Amino acid sequence: MIADKYLIREQNEALVLKTIINYQPISRANIANHSGLNKASVSSITSALIERQLIFESSIGDAGTSGGRKPINLSFNPQAGLALSVDIGSNYVHGMLSYLNGHSIHQVKEKAPISTENVISATLNVINKLTTLSLPKTTHGIVGICLGIHGIVLDDQIQFTPSYDLDKINLKEELEKFISYPIYLENEANLAALGEYTFSKNSQDNMISISIHSGIGAGIIQKGELQTGSHGQAGEIGHSILYPNGHRCPCGNRGCLEKYASNKAIYELFTAETDIQNVDSDLITDELNNDNPVVRSIVHKKIWELSIGVNDLTMLYDPNLIIINSSIFQKNPELIAVLKAEVPSRFAQHLTISNSELGEMATLYGGAAKVISTFLGIENARLGILD
């Protein structure tokens, strides 16, 4: 009985907090209107939230047409705590410390090949740098950390990581020996989608973010909620089969999309055709600008292959928006129109395809969104557009 009462209180508290975040600055009377809670409940819940410094009285509102006493407006206090997010790539660890609205305070990026041997020390090194550089004083301190993993993650446990061997270590358990706040793990493409949904200007309730790096992964948001599937594998579009009997993939299939249409596949094909080594997105961009016919033809062929994945995702999930997160597309925004032209299906006529607004920061912002929404107990919150 007591537990139930506690739960209802928690749910109502989360509802009030979410209403304030969505409509701030907002009066207590308007919180009651939006949330459906009665004024007495709103009054006691907002008092508790003020005491915990999660909200504050921010301004005097409008008395409206009836006149009378002007109401006091309430706003969310993003500086009540701090969130940590870390993107663990195959050759880097990139971390961000932010306030509870995702506003970045510090970022640290360290480059080194990552494996089970050094992942703990490399991650702790980035966390230490983020938290010793003049850590702001806040009421709740660090409220959690989210690690973005380039592979399959289920319930904070790494299942399969083809680009490094982190599936051989219990990262959460090992880090818990050093860290006292909650630790969450999630797939990097899923976090990128969560980051775009939570913070980007053209966010939609039904959207997909496709992360294209050395592999290809998609994060799927439906009705404002990240879809991870039964085994954490939802959106693993990089392992959909493009060419049966094609190149072998570490996943066990042949002819997976990411063996052809990832940025790594573009770099490898360019090296094979020109003998130029160490190709990256800057070199591809320079050669596109020089109108190099070899690179132009490679990039267009790879975009055509990618478009088959985009078409499949559109048929499966019917999103309003597909966001492309790739350094090649970021540096050559005109390629978005090329990709769009390759998806002529009438089923795609309502689909918008656009470049990521958050770029390589999307995973870190998604990690912040995960930490913050879990701490606040609110789901699907749009925490605010980043500048």
Nearer to Zn ion, 78 or 217 (CB): 217
Stretch that binds Zn ion, among 7-15, 27-35, 231-239, 270-278 (CB under 5 A): 231-239
256 belongs to the binding site for Zn ion (CB under 5 A): yes
163 belongs to the binding site for Zn ion (CB under 5 A): no
CB 127 within 8 A of CB 86: yes
251 belongs to the binding site for Zn ion (CB under 5 A): yes
Nearest approach, Cβ of 165 to Zn ion (angstroms)?
Answer: 17
Task: Answer left, alpha or beta for residue 67, where phi above 0 means left and psi between -120 and 50 means alpha.
Answer: left
DSSP string, 113-180: ---TTTHHHHHHHHHHHHHHS-PPP-SS-EEEEEEEESSEEETTEEEE-TTSSGGGS-HHHHHHTT--
DSSP state at residue 138: -
Nearer to Zn ion, 78 or 309 (CB): 309
Distance CA 75, CA 70 (A): 16
Nearest approach, Cβ of 275 to Zn ion (angstroms)?
Answer: 28
249 belongs to the binding site for Zn ion (CB under 5 A): yes
Stretch that binds Zn ion, among 150-158, 169-177, 206-214, 255-263 (CB under 5 A): 255-263
Task: Tell me the HSE value of 119 on the side-chain side, using a 13 A CA sphere.
Answer: 23
Burial class (CB in 10 A: 0-12, 13-18, 19+), 216: buried
Stretch that binds Zn ion, among 129-137, 224-232, 245-253, 314-322 (CB under 5 A): 245-253
Nearest approach, Cβ of 128 to Zn ion (angstroms)?
Answer: 36
Stretch that binds Zn ion, among 39-47, 75-83, 227-235, 237-245 (CB under 5 A): 237-245
Number of Cβ within 10 Å of residue 212's Cβ equals 26
216 belongs to the binding site for Zn ion (CB under 5 A): no
239 belongs to the binding site for Zn ion (CB under 5 A): yes
Stretch that binds Zn ion, among 36-44, 209-217, 232-240, 266-274 (CB under 5 A): 232-240
Nearer to Zn ion, 16 or 256 (CB): 256
Nearer to Zn ion, 249 or 295 (CB): 249
Distance CA 19, CA 9 (A): 15
213 belongs to the binding site for Zn ion (CB under 5 A): no
What residues contact residue 333 under an 8 Å CB cut-off, 6+ apart?
Answer: 355
Stretch that binds Zn ion, among 43-51, 127-135, 140-148, 233-241 (CB under 5 A): 233-241
Nearest approach, Cβ of 232 to Zn ion (angstroms)?
Answer: 15
Nearer to Zn ion, 23 or 160 (CB): 160
Q: Kind and range of the H or E element at 283?
A: helix 281-289
204 belongs to the binding site for Zn ion (CB under 5 A): no
Residue 65, classed as helix, strand or coil, is coil
207 belongs to the binding site for Zn ion (CB under 5 A): no
32-91 binders of Zn ion (CB under 5 A): none
Residue for token pair 């993939």: 249
Residue for token pair 């749910």: 11
Cα 349 to the center of its chain, rounded Å:
26
Nearest approach, Cβ of 239 to Zn ion (angstroms)?
Answer: 4
**What is the size of the binding site for Zn ion (CB under 5 A)?**
5
Number of Cβ within 10 Å of residue 199's Cβ equals 24
Nearer to Zn ion, 151 or 319 (CB): 151
253 belongs to the binding site for Zn ion (CB under 5 A): yes
Nearer to Zn ion, 105 or 251 (CB): 251
Nearer to Zn ion, 18 or 239 (CB): 239
What residues contact residue 241 under an 8 Å CB cut-off, 6+ apart?
Answer: 253, 254, 255, 256, 257
DSSP state at residue 37: -
Nearer to Zn ion, 150 or 239 (CB): 239
Nearer to Zn ion, 160 or 304 (CB): 160
CB 35 within 8 A of CB 19: yes
What residues contact residue 108 under an 8 Å CB cut-off, 6+ apart?
Answer: 94, 95, 126, 129, 130
Length of the chain as a residue count:
387
Stretch that binds Zn ion, among 70-78, 236-244, 288-296, 329-337 (CB under 5 A): 236-244
Residues paired with residue 63 on neighbouring β-strands, in sequence order: none
Strand 152-154 with 157-160, pairing? antiparallel
The contact set with Zn ion (CB under 5 A) reads 239, 249, 251, 253, 256
